[in-house]
Structure formats: C-alpha cells, structure tokens
Structure 1
Amino acid sequence: MRRPRSGPRSERLDGYRILRQGSRTTVYPRSLMRLRRLARREGAFDVVIDTQNGLPFAAPLATSTPVIALVHHVHKEQWPVVFGPLVARLGWLLESRVAPRIYRGHQYVAVSARTRDELGGLGVDLGACSVIHNGTDLPFSDRVPRSSDPRVVVLGRLVPHKRVERAIDVVARLRHRFPGIRLRVVGDGWWREQIIEHAERVGAADLVDVLGFVDEATKHHELASAWVGLAPSVKEGWGLNVVEAAAHGVPTVAFHGAGGLSESIVDNATGLLAHDVCGLTEGCARLLADHELRGDMALAAREHARRFTWEETVERWDRLVRHTAARRAPVAEIDHVATPPAVLVGRHRRSRPASA
C-alpha cells in the first residue's frame, strides 16, 4: 500500500503485517518489486488480492501466483473530475482497455452487481466475476436521540468526486424552509479546504460543520442523530456510508446512475434517488418534512442494512480465496464453491505445516 508522508514503512496490526512503499504514482511499480522480493525471500504466496482503484497494480505481470482482482467501481466518470483531460484519457485507457487484458483468466471480485455489470461492459468475463458486498458496522447503541433540529449528514472522504459541495448547495437552498437545518460532514481528505471555501462562497458556512476524521463512536453518534443522509458522489462501488446510515434508521438521498448507490439504496423504500441537484434538494426536503415517510423508510433501511454483515463478507471471501489458492477455475457464484480443506491461506508456503 502507499506510504503516507508521516506513516511507518511497516507495522503489525491485529496479527497482520502492513508494508508501505512509494507515493501516489510510484506505489504501483514499487509494490510489484516488493511482491517479487518477498516471494524470493520468504516463499511464494498462496494468492494475491490485487485491488484495482482505477489504475491496475498488474500483479499477474509480476507473479505466477493466482491473483484475485478486487474492483470497487469503474472510474469512467471520475477520471475527468480529478484530473485534466490528457491524464483522464490515459487513465481511462489503462482501466478500460489494458487492465481487462492483464487480468484475463484470473478471478474478479466486485462489491456490487452494478460494478460487475460495468466490468462486463469492458470485456471482463462475467463467469469469472463474483459479487461480495461489503459488510456493515452495527451501531454501538440505538439509544442516541435524533437531533431536535433538522440535521443532514454526509459521511466519506473529502475528495472531489464525492461532491460534498452538492450537499452544501442542498442545505443552502433549504435553509428558509427548514429553520435550524445543519449539515454535518464526517470525514477528511485533501479536498477539505475547497469544501469549506465553497460553503463560504454560497453563504452557507453558518449551516455546515466539517468535523474531519472522527473515531468510530463519534461516527455512529453523528449518524444516529441525523434525520437524512446525503450521498452526492459521482460514483460509488457499493455505498458503505449509505448502509451504515441505514443501520441507524437514516434514509439517504443520492443520484441515479452513481454505481452501487442504486443498489445500496432501494429507491422509495430505504432512501431516494435523484437525477440532478434539484431532485436531490427536493428528495431531502420531502424526507425532512414528512415524518411518517421518514419513519417508514427508517424501518425499511434498518432491515436492509441487516442483510450485510461482516461475518458473511469474511466467510464468502475465505471460501473464494481458498478456492483460488487451490488453482481452481474462476467462478461467478461463490455459494456453489466447495472449500478445499487442505489449503492454508494467508501464509507463505514456506511456513505451511508439513501436514498441509
């Protein structure tokens, strides 16, 4: 993984060894070099999980070990939001044309059916692509009271493609219809100052609280006390922020066509989907004004969130990783996979016991 400026090169956390190298751009070649060095020094890996976040790490070019390509979402809409035209075109070329060729014949995992379908549109064999949804952190307590005033929450990284500015525009438009309305922005990132400047520019700085990074207890408290969630992102692979809010009975309003958000939100049941900022505003206003509707959606949202547990996510990943480590053919349906009992996953082969 990439090394932050102040982060250690390596550390152990909960029994895992974490190795960091490179910058935002050099992390890719340096990670492949380290992968090869580790395999030579400590023995071959059983399986490599290669997370493709736009740009591919291209692990199949550096190892003969079975590779699982994990894709959260396809970045077609995000490239031009974050980069200039030339870099955006190059990035999309690598993601849409080069990456599918590199990982051809390897197992894919998508975090939503929407992402899986988009990968199919890029030429990825859907027979080799499984869907494993992210799990959801359960609330620490259901006893946190709702805010007495209308409160809207945005949860996520502060980067351009999350478009937190759209949420600020929404509360700015609603300030006279809902006196006391506040927007609580939970999360941090390199786009933070631009978000604060936008709030000032549209005259909504007095309505917006940018909380930055918070601990888990504070995050759950903020979600539980909110009336409505907003997810104005260009694209999400799944929408973990949406389901975490749903676990607290908070319905979310997001955009149609934003990847997994159209799956993590059941439109008109656990939240609302809009086509533009006007629709986002009216959807938010509808939920703020209609207490009965909001209550019905809160119940449905809780039930929806209970479907996605980390226990199930881990179990499905474990089954697929063991299947892949046994060098079996890629699959689309994990539930039909039998776990090879003799394969020990998560260690180097050199450290495998003789009975394995």
Structure 2
Amino acid sequence: MRIALLNWRDLTHPEGGGAERYAQTVCAGLARRGHDVTMFCAAHPGAAPVEEIDGYSIVRRGGRSTVYPATLRALVRSGRAHGDYDVVVDTQNGLPFWSPLVTKTPVVSLVHHVHREQWPVVFGRVMARVGWTLESRVSPRVYRGSTYVTVSGRSRDELVGLGVRAEDIHVIHNGTDRPMALGVPRAATPTVVVLGRLVPHKRVELAIDTLRLLRDRVPGVQLRIVGDGWWRHRVEEHAQAAGLTDAVHFLGYVDEVTKHRELSRAWVALAPSAKEGWGLGVVEAGAHGVPTVAHHGAGGLAESIVDGRTGVLVDDVEGMARATAHLLRDESARTAMGERAREHAALHSWEGAVASWEALLAAVVAGGLLQGAPEPLQREAASA
C-alpha cells in the first residue's frame, strides 16, 4: 500500500510527544512490512524539509497553524507527481487536516482523545469555543462515513458522544518499548518521576503540589521531571514559589537511554494530566515495574492504569499525595503493584499495534467493512 499519514508534528519537533511517537512507530512498522509510507508534518528550525528515516519519508511543511493548508497542498502535489495514495491517515489533534475536502482517497481519522478540557486551558474563551465547535460539530460531519482509529475505549466512547458511529471506530492501543536492561538499581532515596511534555494540560504543577504535601510524610522524597515544553518556565516558577527547588529536578528533553535510566531509578510515577488518550508514559513506567498515580476522569489513563492493581486513580492532589505516600512507605505494596504494572505493560506491544494498523488499512483500501469490536483484531494481529 501507498500510505500518507498527516500529523501535526514529528518527534524532532520541540513539542513532540506521545502522539508523535505513536505516529512514527506505526510508520516505521508499516515500512518494515513493505509499504510505501510518507508522513506529512510541520516544519521547524533545524529540520530538513524532506527526510528519510526508518524506511519511510517525512515531509515537513508549514508552521504551528499553517501546517494544515501546507500539508494539504503537499499531499495533493505528491499525488499528482507520484500517483494517488491508497489511503490517508488524518490525525486529529484537536483539529483534523480536513483531508476529505481535497482527496477522494479513503481517509482514516486517527483521534487520540477528545480535547474538550484542553481548549480552555490553552486558549482564551473565544478561541476555545471556536476550536471546540470545529472539533465537536464540524469535524464529525466532514469525516462522516470514514473509518476512525483511537487508542482507548474511553476515547471511543467520547467520539460516539460527538456523533461518530460506534461501528466506524476501532481501538488500537499504544504499544510500549521493551525496557532497556541497563542494570540501574532503584534510587536510594524515595524518588517520584513525571514523564511528559511541559504544557498546561499536563498539569505538572500538581505533581509539585503533591510533593509539597509529601515532604512531611516521606522524608527525603525527590521529584524528577523528564520532559520539556513551552510551559517549563511556569512550572519552574511554581516550584520556586512552593520552596521546593532543592527537591524538584528538571531534566528537560532526554535521550532514550536516559529516559529508561530515570524510570529504572524511580519508585513511583505521577501522571497529573487533565486528559490523555491512553497514557504512554504510564506503560513505559510499568515496563520498569513502576506503578503510576493519576486522576480519575482523565480519559485513557483509566485504561493504561488498572486502578488498585497497576497503579492508583485519585480525585485530587490530597488523594495523589496520600496514595503516593503509601506506595513510597510500603515497599511490599509498591513492589507487588509494580510487578503487576510490568505484566500489564507486556500485553501492549508495538508489533501488535502495527499489525492491527496493517489489517485495518488493507480492509479500508479493499473497500471492506472492518467493523465491530476492535480488541479481538488486536489480539489476532499480535499473534500473527
């Protein structure tokens, strides 16, 4: 198949994160299976306009907002120059690319999660209303009849709530990398880790608030924040205002080896995000035997975490501090939950995710109706 994937950013982008890892891992996996794959995304300083990586092409056009029309122009030009694509995967990160308006090629809409909660956090009242209207009302009409893919049952339910037909939606979970065997032991002192981009809706400030409550309950506790983003200065200011600069460590963007080393050292992970489609960091921590504490009502985190078994879901900062303190102080409980988190992470492989994508795209290209519960599809693909 000749496949185009439209995504806002790629992993080299300063704001790249879990959605980009998902997109590029799927692209690389499909390329290894012999497909011709091109990913279209935004340009950014220092990145080549066209690049070959892991057997597929990346075409970078436009900026933060202009990526949408620039990508559509590049998609049309590529089709004219090299022949039409067999299928287009259109990633909706709040806003989709509106590709059905410019191509007759079958379109698959990839939605990690619905952005109802994020719009007012990032934008003012007027722009948030406009964005939510486009996402919740206009997009379902433009993509009506298209196949949808999302990464959790919670996100699937939200899409149904926006009017997308349940039979058109397929769940293909994130996979997880096999943990690197670095021989790094747990930290000698109680260590909590946060993994992710520093942007408002990740609410890393709540992890700092949790640390403030923990200090009297767990002496010597440290918080290590792995990730970077345009909101970093606000998070740093929050740590300063709380008087916690001695216990909060900002590691910034790190390479894969450093990321795995930090997860190996951690005792507990926190995921204070307002919303996640799945929670890739949760499963990455789980692969290292590290349980995660997160909030109820945060989308797919209620699936990447099996509450009470692989981690804990709480209602507020006090609940997060209470659950984290218990795990930090009770080694046997922490170890048992970490082992269950490791087992849960092992159920989600990138190989299975790529196989599911290949089967679904082949059915779309053939004009077949790949409908019904998608989870059996993933299990079949994973065992193929």
Fold similarity call, TM over 0.5 = yes
Q: 2:148 aligns with which of 105, 108, 114?
A: 108
Corresponding residue number in structure 2 for 1:162: 202
Deviates more, 1:275-284 or 1:258-267: 275-284
Whether 1:303 and 2:343 are equivalent positions in the alignment is yes
Whether 1:75 and 2:75 are equivalent positions in the alignment is no
Q: 1:122 aligns with which of 150, 158, 162?
A: 162
Between the aligned partners of 1:228 and 1:137, the Cα distance in structure 2 is 19
Between the aligned partners of 1:69 and 1:148, the Cα distance in structure 2 is 46
- The structural deviation recorded for 1:5 is 2.6
Q: Which amino acid aligns with 1:24?
A: R
Q: 1:60 aligns with which of 100, 106, 120?
A: 100
SS at match of 2:157: helix
Corresponding residue number in structure 1 for 2:28: none
Whether 1:257 and 2:297 are equivalent positions in the alignment is yes
Between the aligned partners of 1:49 and 1:160, the Cα distance in structure 2 is 27
Superposed CA offset, 1:254-286 (max 9, x none): 000000000100001000001111111111111
Corresponding residue number in structure 2 for 1:320: 360
Between the aligned partners of 1:330 and 1:140, the Cα distance in structure 2 is 36
Q: Which amino acid aligns with 2:226?
A: V
SS at match of 1:133: coil
Contact 2:213–2:318, Cα closer than 8 Å, also in 1: no
Corresponding residue number in structure 2 for 1:132: 172
SS at match of 1:200: helix
Q: 1:237 aligns with which of 277, 283, 295?
A: 277
Q: Which amino acid aligns with 2:185?
A: P
Contact 1:73–1:110, Cα closer than 8 Å, also in 2: yes
Taking the TM superposition and a 5 Å limit, the aligned residue runs for 1:210-289 are: 210-289=250-329
Q: 1:180 aligns with which of 217, 220, 243?
A: 220
- The structural deviation recorded for 1:226 is 0.3
Between the aligned partners of 1:102 and 1:144, the Cα distance in structure 2 is 50
Q: Which amino acid aligns with 2:340?
A: A
Corresponding residue number in structure 2 for 1:90: 130
- The structural deviation recorded for 1:336 is 5.8
- The structural deviation recorded for 1:331 is 2.2
Whether 1:201 and 2:241 are equivalent positions in the alignment is yes
Deviates more, 1:265-274 or 1:25-34: 25-34
Between the aligned partners of 2:119 and 2:326, the Cα distance in structure 1 is 33
Whether 1:36 and 2:112 are equivalent positions in the alignment is no
Between the aligned partners of 2:182 and 2:257, the Cα distance in structure 1 is 12
Q: Which amino acid aligns with 1:150?
A: P
Superposed CA offset, 1:293-313 (max 9, x none): 111101111110110001111
Q: Which consecutive residues of structure 1, in runs of 5 or more, have no partner in the other structure?
A: 340-356
- The structural deviation recorded for 1:249 is 0.6
- The structural deviation recorded for 1:327 is 2.2
- The structural deviation recorded for 1:143 is 2.9
- The structural deviation recorded for 1:328 is 2.1
Corresponding residue number in structure 1 for 2:11: none
Between the aligned partners of 1:208 and 1:218, the Cα distance in structure 2 is 17
Q: Size of the alignment, in residue pairs? A: 338
Between the aligned partners of 2:177 and 2:270, the Cα distance in structure 1 is 19
Superposed CA offset, 1:106-155 (max 9, x none): 10001001100100000001101000001001111163210110000000
**Runs of at least 4 residues of structure 1 off by over 3 A?**
332-337
Q: Which consecutive residues of structure 2, in runs of 5 or more, have no partner in the other structure?
A: 1-40
- The structural deviation recorded for 1:252 is 0.4
Between the aligned partners of 1:278 and 1:82, the Cα distance in structure 2 is 25
Q: Which amino acid aligns with 2:367?
A: R
Q: 2:58 aligns with which of 3, 14, 18?
A: 18
Superposed CA offset, 1:172-200 (max 9, x none): 22112222211110111111111111110
Between the aligned partners of 2:289 and 2:370, the Cα distance in structure 1 is 38
Contact 2:356–2:377, Cα closer than 8 Å, also in 1: no
Q: Which amino acid aligns with 1:207?
A: A
- The structural deviation recorded for 1:40 is 1.1
TM-score (norm 2): 0.86
SS at match of 2:108: strand
Between the aligned partners of 2:336 and 2:325, the Cα distance in structure 1 is 16
Deviates more, 1:174-183 or 1:217-226: 174-183
Give the CA RMSD over aligned residues: 1.4
Corresponding residue number in structure 2 for 1:147: 187
Between the aligned partners of 1:122 and 1:229, the Cα distance in structure 2 is 32
Superposed CA offset, 1:66-91 (max 9, x none): 01100000000111111111111111
Contact 1:3–1:21, Cα closer than 8 Å, also in 2: yes
